[in-house]
Structure 1
Amino acid sequence: MRERLKFMKPLEPMQVETPPVGDDWLHEIKYDGFRTQLILDWAGARTFTRTGIDWSKRYWPVIDAAEKLPAKAFILDGEMIAPDPDGTPNFHAMHSRMAWNAEQLAYVAFDILHLEGQDLRALPLIERKARLWDLVRPAEGIIQYSDHVEGNGAAFFEAVEKMGLEGMVSKRRESPYRGGKLDFWVKTKCWEIGDFELLGIKREPGKPVAAIMARDGRYAGTAAVTLPKGVRERLWQRVAQGKTARPQRQVPTAVAGAAVDWVKPGIKARVKFLRGEHKLRHASMQAFLEDD
């Protein structure tokens, strides 16, 4: 039997604080879903997670659509999303749609690694995207094309922020495709500020003091305590007054087993955090307030 096409290690963007400038960069929306590699060969289509796990059964409508594209063999890189009616990705709907309404998923393709027996990874990105467009156009319905703009990274990021999206990915237009984390793809994420319930304060030698947070009754992660000195001292006093023996919400074993000063309900924390993350990441505590 002929050998089937194999999963290829994906290229992972590096995270940066601000989008790159210059006309040699392409900018795309960062879609909030599951990174997915879509492969078609002589025996049919398959989908793989970013770590190479076969999820074809979960994404069967995308499999059907891939087998109708005008090619006999390809490897696409993209994101599986659960779009709202306006097209905005809704990560929280992903699991229910995979289980019950997979036809309401969409696959957004942003790169092509192989086509009709030819390895395309050495080609410049801008050429790969042209071949990808030729394959998936008109790019509507369940298999879509990730549009891009060239240059004007700051303006693109401003638009992404206003739209309430997770962030953006910038890619060097002449770059090849290689597996691993490389700096010719970079991601810039948007920030949010929100209020959380303070569960406790975690102190570990050699590490920043961390506030353990909950939101909507569930553990949400940790945030570095970056308060001014006077505010921080008032927080320590409030924590000392409100100590309790155990957390007021269920938290992961690794957190519960650490040296933590747990507190009774009543302290809220204002936190700056990266948008689109499903637990707090790169988060910092900006202020705290107490329930009336």
Structure 2
Amino acid sequence: MSKRAKVNGGRVNGGRLEFLPPQIPTRVGRPPEDEGWVHEANLDGYRTQIIIDNAGVRLYSKNGRNWTTKYWPIALAVDLPCRTAILDGEVIVPGEQGASDCPVLEAAIWNEPSRLVFVAFDILHLDGRDLGSLPLLQRKQALWQLVEPGLGKIQYSEHFEGCALALFRTVEKIGLNGIISKRADSRYRSGLSNTWLKAK
């Protein structure tokens, strides 16, 4: 078998899971109003992927750059009950409403990395299993069980069902930067996606 053979939602290279290009939401003017979608606040942080395997913990930017040294407090805080995993999320500096302030985030990366938090919203791989082929809500359930939602360095991104437009207006009023709507039954696919929509 090739050393770069595809294994369970990632690629193995010398026993290490490799970075997977993220799924990217399509920008829209209004959130979807039909059924079958779930919605999350747009955190407006830095898209980040955490990889856990027998080589340790690594954090990657959305372009696949290894930013583990920049995000070292998060890497040190990863202590999850799994052998291998790939988590998708955003690094933020939480504000009053939970979203990130981009100028503060940029400054914190270089000057106060202890303020950084990783908010996980998807899981692509867990202990040898490809979860990317599962429907979104099943992946969210697996992620919730793994992360054990709390207020530590690794947090869980809650999702909401119901009227997207009402949620969109609410997050605007409290100063958040829009919402991400995702098809509840969607599989994870790298690249630009019409099953993930960003309204802001």
Query: Which runs of at least 4 in structure 1 moved beyond 4 Å after TM superposition?
Result: none
Q: 1:59 aligns with which of 62, 66, 71?
A: 71
Structure 2: 5+ residue stretches without partners: 1-12
- Structure-to-structure mapping, 1:126-145, within 5 angstroms: 126-145=137-156
Q: 2:38 aligns with which of 8, 26, 37?
A: 26
Work out whether residues 150 and 156 of structure 2, in 8 Å CA contact, stay in contact via their aligned partners in 1. yes
Tell me if structure 2 keeps the 8 A contact 1:24–1:151: no
Q: Any idea what SS the aligned residue of 1:170 has?
A: strand
Query: 1 CA distance for matches of 2:187 and 2:68?
Result: 27
For residue 56 of structure 1, what is the amino acid of its counterpart?
A: T
**Map of 1:1-292 to 2, 5 A cutoff?**
2-66=14-78, 68-189=79-200
Per-residue deviation, 1:43? 1.3
Q: Is the 8 A contact 2:97 2:174 kept in 1?
A: no
Distance in 1 (CA, whole Å) between partners of 2:45 and 2:178 is: 12
Question: CA offsets, 1:149-191, max 9 Å, x none?
Answer: 11210111011111111111000000000001010000000xx
Task: Provide the identity percentage.
Answer: 45
| Unaligned runs of at least 5 residues, structure 1 | 190-292
Q: What amino acid maps onto 2:136 in structure 1?
A: L
1: CA distance, partners of 2:149 / 2:160: 18
C-alpha separation between the residues in 1 aligned to 2:149 and 2:183?
25
- Once residues 42 and 92 of structure 2 are traced to their aligned partners in structure 1, the CA distance between those partners, rounded to angstroms, is 11
Give secondary structure in 2 for the equivalent of 1:92. helix
- State TM-score, norm by structure 2: 0.90
Q: Distance in 2 between matches of 1:81 and 1:32?
A: 8
Higher relative contact order (CA 8 A, sep 6+): 2
Rounded to whole Å, the distance in 2 between the matches of 1:63 and 1:81 is: 14
How many Å apart are 1:2 and its aligned residue?
4.3
Aligned length: 188
- Are 2:90 and 2:118, in contact at CA under 8 Å, matched by a contact in 1? yes
Matched residues in 2 for 1:86 and 1:156: separation? 14
